[in-house]
Amino acid sequence: RSCAASGGPGADDGVPTVRTTTEYTRQRKIFEEKYARYQDLDRELSENTRHFKRLEEKFNQCRRDSPQRKEYEKEILSQFEKRQPEMMRKTAEYRRLHIELKRIKQAVTAFVAGFNDAGS
């Protein structure tokens, strides 16, 4: 991906370049949009983890030789296979957004620091 696509011209490390208040405003808006998606993904991934922890607890409460334990095992495997492709996609998107948000924050913070230094 080119640096221009990540939000800033001339940034070889993927960090957008913010030189004007217009670019600052644009990057803040991009950050807010991406952060909303990041939060949604965080909730979805956390709920998925909680779901499987609940199933695991039920599984662990059953006696080793119980038919119910075997049913929980089948249920866990079935749900895992069903959910895994989407959760892998969401996890990859979550990680990508984490990096993008960090880079935008870095650029915006650098601009604000420079702006404050210039005003001093």
Calculate the average pLDDT of the chain. 89
Half-sphere exposure of 117 (CA within 13 A, CB side): 6
Confidence bin at 15 (pLDDT 50/70/90): confident
Rounded to an integer, what distance in angstroms lies between the CA atom of residue 95 and that of residue 97?
Answer: 5
Find out whether 16 and 6 touch, Cβ atoms under 8 Å.
yes
What average pLDDT score do residues 38-44 get?
A: 99
What average pLDDT score do residues 4-15 get?
A: 52
Percentage with pLDDT > 70 across the chain: 88
What average pLDDT score do residues 100-120 get?
A: 87
Find out whether 38 and 93 touch, Cβ atoms under 8 Å.
no
Rounded to an integer, what distance in angstroms lies between the CA atom of residue 52 and that of residue 93?
Answer: 21
For residues 118 and 48, which has the higher predicted lDDT (pLDDT)? Answer: 48
Tell me the torsion sign for CA atoms 103, 4, 34, 94: negative
Q: Which residue has the tokens 């989407």?
A: 86
For residues 64 and 119, which has the higher predicted lDDT (pLDDT)? Answer: 64
